[in-house]
Amino acid sequence: MSKKCRVRFAPSPTGPLHIGGVRTALFNYLYAKKHGGDFILRIEDTDQNRYVEGAEEYIINSLNWCGITFDEGPGKDKGFGPYRQSERKHLYRQYADELISKGKAYYAFDTQEELNFHRKDHEEKGKTFIYNWHNRLKLTNSLSLSKEETQTRLNSNADYVIRFLSPKDETIKLQDTIRGEITIDTNILDDKVLFKSDGMPTYHLANIIDDHLMQISHIIRGEEWLPSLALHQLLYDAFGWQAPEFAHLPLIMKPTGKGKLSKRDGEKLGFPVFPLSWGASVGYKEAGYYPEAVINFLALLGWNPGTEQELFSLQELSAVFSLERVHKGGARFDPDKTKWYNHHYLQQQDEDELTKRFLSKLKTIAATSNTEIDAEFNDVKKIVQLIKERATFEADFWELSDFFFIAPTAYDEKATKKQWKEDTADILNQVASILDNMDDFEAEIISHGVKDWIGNEGLSFGKVMPPLRLVIVGAMKGPDLFQIMALIGKNASIERIKRAITTITDSNI
């Protein structure tokens, strides 16, 4: 690579960043890291009508949460700034003028009403109105009007836009790293507006000028921008600039595989589509996902390492990522896989940190439910160690462990019917005395004691262990029963057995 690798993520602050946008940012970031390049964040806010307050901050917070940090961008000027297009306003006009003087662009004076009329008229005839070679001389612009008339209109401050003069009867060859060569017949292109009557450039013009001025070497962006590629290439040619390399990433599809994943799918299908919460939409962070999990599943949406490996840290991804392994076809979004990743990264979390966070949740639960919850750091840590394997999110901890903290007062009905036999109360009373005679109440010791007793009595495990779990836990769930008993302690275990015997016998099941 001769040119320094410089890539950019160029979102428009029109709302929250969709998860697809995060993937685009991630692939740019990974490409930059892999090639020792720079990752730039540029805010494309030329469309004032679509500007949404707070969106830029949201984008930056989201990237930071994911660990996709930019080398250059708003607040981090490395000599190519400003990085907000609204702050670069003064730059664009001269380039539009340059295209006019080169005969590559022209002034168009058509009013909105006139254009709407043409659109409607075409629609009624089952056609689409395209402003280009086949009708531009019939419309109101500097190509159809005389020089004098054009000048008079410009002098009188008439509203106008600057349009690109797309070439007629040419075949252009476009290169895309992921898609290969794409051939386009220029006759299908419309004369896109480059500069608007409000004095602002459109996305197309500002985008390529900034990519040129910021010395962007590779443009990695979503497939939805592929239809703009021809115009962009023609603009680079018109200016006489060398175009960057292009790579258009595959779409992210709905879990069914049919149709593009949209911002609204989150609410409809019940999984987040935004990294952070936005209004009423819950983000990945708030839903309990770790950034490592989000990064990992996004990396594999459209890219594969060429091996069976599925687990990658951001650093590992930076070492192995390549555009050659990005595929063309849409990438199906799989919400179950995202959970699988989260489960994996939950197991990797620092146990002390998990414990601290769970302790603070326990405090809240105790306060809001007016219950006393006795929770020592070391005990809670042991509980976390026992249950985390079953958890996908930290928020699952309470449901998986509430019985450690609160003795059951009711017992799963179905399980009670199934497990409670005539001799169960008697058996469990005997287990209670075995436990009572133990000096050390550690899981191993309890396990030996109870199992030896079962053996000596000639009982079956099935007669003892399931009802014992039922009375200790309240239901047929939870981790190793001896570990549970060791943690809740001898007295509490015996109390639970006794209370259950009374409750269940009284209820005559």
Name the site residues for ligand GLU (rule: CB under 6 A). Answer: 10-12, 44, 203, 207, 221, 225
Considering the complex, state which of residue 150 and residue 207 has its C-beta at the smaller distance from ligand GLU.
207
CA dist 143 and 145 (Å) reads: 6
Sign of CA dihedral 288, 294, 296, 298: positive
Phi-psi region at 167: left, alpha or beta (left = phi > 0; alpha = psi -120 to 50): beta
CB neighbour list of residue 239: distance below 8 Å, 6 or more residues apart: 95, 98, 99, 208, 212
Supply 486's token pair.
């060791």
Q: 24: how many CB neighbours lie within 10 A of its CB? A: 20
Task: In angstroms, give the least distance from the CB of 204 to ligand GLU.
Answer: 9
CA dist 147 and 141 (Å) reads: 10
Residue with tokens 């901050």: 57
Task: In angstroms, give the least distance from the CB of 55 to ligand GLU.
Answer: 11
CA dist 338 and 344 (Å) reads: 10
Considering the complex, state which of residue 13 and residue 283 has its C-beta at the smaller distance from ligand GLU.
13
Q: Looking at the DSSP assignment, which residues form a beta bridge with residue 218?
A: 7, 245
Considering the complex, state which of residue 84 and residue 388 has its C-beta at the smaller distance from ligand GLU.
84
The answer to whether 172 and 230 are in contact (CB under 8 A) is yes
Considering the complex, state which of residue 207 and residue 419 has its C-beta at the smaller distance from ligand GLU.
207
Task: In angstroms, give the least distance from the CB of 68 to ligand GLU.
Answer: 15
Considering the complex, state which of residue 207 and residue 342 has its C-beta at the smaller distance from ligand GLU.
207
Residue with tokens 């070492």: 319
Amino acid at site 242: Q
Considering the complex, state which of residue 72 and residue 292 has its C-beta at the smaller distance from ligand GLU.
72
Task: In angstroms, give the least distance from the CB of 167 to ligand GLU.
Answer: 22
Amino acid at site 139: L
Considering the complex, state which of residue 10 and residue 30 has its C-beta at the smaller distance from ligand GLU.
10
Considering the complex, state which of residue 211 and residue 394 has its C-beta at the smaller distance from ligand GLU.
211
The answer to whether 252 and 333 are in contact (CB under 8 A) is yes
How large is the angle between the packed helices 397-405 and 481-488, nearest 10 degrees? Answer: 60
Residue with tokens 């952070």: 276
Task: In angstroms, give the least distance from the CB of 203 to ligand GLU.
Answer: 6
Task: In angstroms, give the least distance from the CB of 211 to ligand GLU.
Answer: 8
- C-alpha torsion 129→135→137→143, nearest 10: 60
CB neighbour list of residue 430: distance below 8 Å, 6 or more residues apart: 453, 457
CA dist 367 and 399 (Å) reads: 17
Task: In angstroms, give the least distance from the CB of 44 to ligand GLU.
Answer: 4
CA dist 416 and 338 (Å) reads: 36
Residue 263 designated active-site: yes
Q: Given 89, 196, 260, 263, which residue is catalytic?
A: 263
Amino acid at site 169: D
Considering the complex, state which of residue 95 and residue 160 has its C-beta at the smaller distance from ligand GLU.
95
Task: In angstroms, give the least distance from the CB of 394 to ligand GLU.
Answer: 33
Contacts within 8 Å (CB) and 24+ apart, 48-55: 48/86, 48/198, 48/200, 50/12, 50/14, 51/13, 51/14, 52/13, 52/14, 52/15, 55/13, 55/14, 55/15, 55/16
Q: Beta strands 161-164 and 6-9: pairing type?
A: unpaired
Task: In angstroms, give the least distance from the CB of 185 to ligand GLU.
Answer: 23
The answer to whether 1 and 245 are in contact (CB under 8 A) is no
HSE-up (13 A, CA, CB side) for residue 195: 24
Residue with tokens 């409000």: 198
Catalytic residues: 263
